[in-house]
Amino acid sequence: MNKLKAKLLLWPTLALMSSALAANGQSPSISRSSAENSPRPDTVAKIKPRNATNACSAAADDLIATRRLAEALDSENIALRERLESEKQIVGLLRELAATAKAENESLRTAVAAKNETIAAKDGAIAAQEKLIGELKRKRSSPWRRLGDILIGAAAGALLK
């Protein structure tokens, strides 16, 4: 009698399983989650009729945790992309700053060279003035010579009168 009951349950079970497989084969399989591609857990649940509810609940909890993890990873990827963009902007600004500093250094070198040329020109002008002063001091006549020049001029003036 037990064999007959098992055979009677076998036919509806097979029909139900084949209809479920046929329905799954006819519907387009669209992957909406990365949970399908995730590795299988190491522990395989042995489903007994009384533990089926617990196994389904555990699978649902695992799926919820997987979805939360996927959302966290997506938000982390977004944050990393934003950080990468910020780093690219910072690198661009630093390159611009380096170019500006290089141009400023070149301008300062030019200004220092112009200052040195100006100082050299002033030194040359001062040396020329000192040379002229020296020549004028040498040409300066003594007081006796001046007196002689005055007397010669007075004598020449008296003769012409």
pLDDT at residue 158, as a whole number: 83
Q: What is the pLDDT of residues 21-47, one digit of tens each?
A: 555 455 444 555 555 666 665 555 555
| pLDDT value at residue 37 | 62
Q: What is the mean pLDDT of residues 110-118?
A: 97
Residue found by looking up tokens 């089926």 in the block: 52
- Return the percentage of the chain with pLDDT > 90, whole number: 45
Residue 109 contacts residue 72 (beta carbons within 8 Å): no
Question: Rounded distance, CA 102 to CA 104, Å?
Answer: 5
In this prediction, residues 92-97 reach a mean pLDDT of 96
* pTM of the entire predicted model: 0.42
Nearest to 45 by CA among 35, 31, 55, 37: 55
